[in-house]
Structures are given as structure tokens and as C-alpha cells.
Amino acid sequence: MNPSLRPSAGFSLVEVSMAIGIVAFAFLGIVALLPVGLKSVRESGVRNAVSMTERSIAESLRSAATADGTNFSFTIGNSTFTYQLNTPQSFALPPFTATGTPALHGQGAVAARLDIEPPASRFAPARAVIRTAWPSSATFSSGSWQGAEGSASSAITFFPR
């Protein structure tokens, strides 16, 4: 039998080249989506840190206690803050870590600010606005965050003890 007339088994060079081209094109599409996925993961981590920070601050506020009926104290990390009845106050809080706890040496992920509208009487509700921004190097001035990639705020109503 003539070897040139024998049926060939396998793929031709053109078929292999086409398959490699299709696989390479699909791979480039997947690689192009990688930065988008990484950005989403990072933003999710920051939003989680903000949520945990705001929860931590709200829990501290809800545990505010008074000894004399007019001065209320609450603790966040190693810092104690005090506010009085009928005297609105604002506090620049220390940076917070990604787990919602105050950061040591200012190396946090989230900056926070707290505005309190104290109760009118010992048994009335108080209101507060917790403002957070990231990164922790952001500063709050003139009613807005400066140098922030993003920010969030939560309003809460609470009864001091």
C-alpha cells in the first residue's frame, strides 16, 4: 500500500494552532477579570471593617453609664469619653483595625468620628451619628472627610444606663 494514501490519525497543524488560539483567547479573558475580582475582595474587607467598627462604637455607647445622673462615660479600647445631658458633643476616635477594635500606634484601617446628641433627661433616649472613613489617614473637617477613599455613617438611638 502506498504510504501517502493511508488515512492519517491525529490532528493537523492548523487544527492544533486554532485550538491553542481559542484557549489563549479564553485565558486572556479570565486574566482580564482578575483585577476586578481583587478590587471586590478588598472593598468587601473594608466594608466589613466599617461594619464591625460601627457596631463596636454603638455597643460602647449603649453601655454608657452615669454615677451622678448628668455625666455619662463610655469606653472604647483604652480611652474613656464623657458627655453631659443637654450638651451635644463630637469625638474624634482613634483608628480602628479591620476587626472593629481600636488600633495600637495609629495603624488602623478605619477612621471614626462620633457626634452625640445627649438625652434631655436621665431617662430619655440619646441619639448619635457614627461616621467612618477609610483609610484611617482620612481626616474630618468642615462636615466631611478629607483624603478618604470611601465613607459611611450610621445613626443610632440609645438609652444610657
pLDDT tens for 64-75 read 888 787 888 888
Domain range enclosing 101: 31-158
Nearest CA among 80, 79, 50 for reference residue 154: 50
* 1 pLDDT above the threshold of 60: no
Residue 153 pLDDT class (50, 70, 90 cuts): very high
Whether residue 103 lies inside any domain: the answer is yes
Instruction: Report the half-sphere exposure of 11 (CA within 13 A, side-chain side).
Output: 8
Whether residue 24 lies inside any domain: the answer is no
The Cα-based distances of 132 to 25, 56, 98, 113, 127 in angstroms read 43, 12, 12, 6, 17
* 131 pLDDT above the threshold of 90: yes
Whether residue 138 lies inside any domain: the answer is yes
Give how far the C-alpha of residue 62 lies from the chain's centroid of Cα atoms, to the nearest Å. Answer: 22
Number of domains composing the chain: 1
The Cα-based distances of 27 to 58, 61, 91 in angstroms read 47, 51, 51
- The length of the chain is 161
For the entire predicted model, the pTM comes to: 0.73
Residue 60 pLDDT class (50, 70, 90 cuts): confident
Section 48-53 average pLDDT = 88
